[in-house]
Amino acid sequence: MRSLFLVVFFFLPLTVKGEKVLDYSVIEEAWAASWKRFYDTGTHLFYDYISSYEKGKELSHLPTREEVNRQYPNPCGYGTGMEDCVILTGTMLGTLADIYGQTKEEDLKERASQLLDGLKRCSLIPGFTGFVARGVCTEDGKSFYYNSSRDQYTHCVHGLWKYYDSPLADEDGKQLVCSILADIAERMHKNVVSDNNYDFLRADGKQCPLGICRMWNVAPHEAARLPMFYAAAWHVTQNRKYYDLYRSYIHEAIEQSERIGNNYSAYVYLQMMYSFDLLSDLETEPSLQQRLHKLIERVGKLAFERSVYCLKEINKIDKTELSMLGPDWRFVKEWHTQNGYRIPRWGEYRNIWHIVREAGESALVVFMANDPVLANDEKSILHDVMSAMDYSHLSGCGIIFHVAAYWKASER
């Protein structure tokens, strides 16, 4: 693919008060690093971090087929670098739709097709209808950890919905999205019942001991996820069953969502925004639309507060620390046990990885809120965040959210 940014940056500068904030080379570097280092060309998925800057060894720490098949070190793959592949890939797929909407760059269609294949690998697994794996092993392209989460599903559904409604999707792609979203809806309908504590269940049919697969009777910031999944399935299939399921949950879900508090991590704000974004687009009842728009406005303001915090924290970090590589998780010194799951801890690296990712996530949420005043202030913050990064030496997947935030900002 030729340099996308050489094509479009002449007329798509990111500006604040009429002044160019970022030159094209900064975001182009982030884009290139995202695909060269975090993306696996065999699985068509993005992975959580790199452990080497040497070409071909960036993802050498990822679990082997044997480790994954025995669910080592834990059934979520926590700490291994392949726990958030669907989150990252779903986000990038949605970002490709944003970029195409502004540039009409035809080469993006092939990129989108590849990412769709990656999500297919994780969600159309024979014998596991409607289960969305966090990622698949790079060694064999199919082995996966049994414990997913509603977070993975949220990014998957939102990314597929954006792709489906964009010019990137051809008829084969749309049919594939229909299959994935219908299977997800069927799994929810079958498993999310009181007998299972409203859990969509692990791939092995067991309830998730961490509570991250529960879809109803959840916290306010999670309440809109289940109707979001049904609404997406109805939208692409026009199956009345999914519409009726959506209507049976949406009023109570919005009522619960309106009780959201603050002081969440940025990923929570992003997932709330994804659910409200989809629902507000598909909902036709004026009163519910109005309430969803108020929720979007509220979450945007909360995310802006988080964005300010992230910039302050980044400014405290010695810039050489930002290039710190992730570990080979097998040899870390500290492990933590949570509900029977042994999880390798990354030490100081975790803090660097986390704050860089949060800065991108929170910025993306603010731009999605479509508040012109907040967006203008957020552009200044994004400029300062991106100026602090050397994207050629950044080892965490937060880089993907920086790219996503930039392109969402370019729409404003």
Q: How far is CA 394 from CA 23, 50, 276, 407, in A?
A: 19, 9, 31, 20
pLDDT given at position 21: 56
pLDDT of residue 275: 98
Q: Where are the beta strands (DSSP E) in 29-184?
A: 39-40, 45-46
**CATH class of the domain comprising 4-9+22-265+321-345+389-410:** mainly alpha
Q: Quote the pLDDT of residue 411.
A: 86
| pLDDT, position 10 | 34
Give pLDDT < 50 ranges for the chain.
1-3, 5-11, 20
Contact 304, 372 (CB under 8 A): no
Preceding amide of 13 cis, omega within 30: no
Q: How far apart (Å, rounded) are the C-alpha atoms in residues 129 and 205? A: 11
Give the model's pLDDT for residue 382.
Answer: 95
- Helical (H) or strand (E) element with 359: helix 348-369
Residue 376 half-sphere exposure, CB side, CA atoms within 13 Å?
Answer: 6
pLDDT in the model for residue 5: 46
**pLDDT at res. 83:** 98
Tell me if 302 sits within 8 A of 350, measured CB to CB.
no
Domain boundaries, the chain: 4-9+22-265+321-345+389-410
Look at residue 23 in the predicted model and tell me its pLDDT.
59
Q: How far is 4 from 2, CA to CA, in rounded Å? A: 6
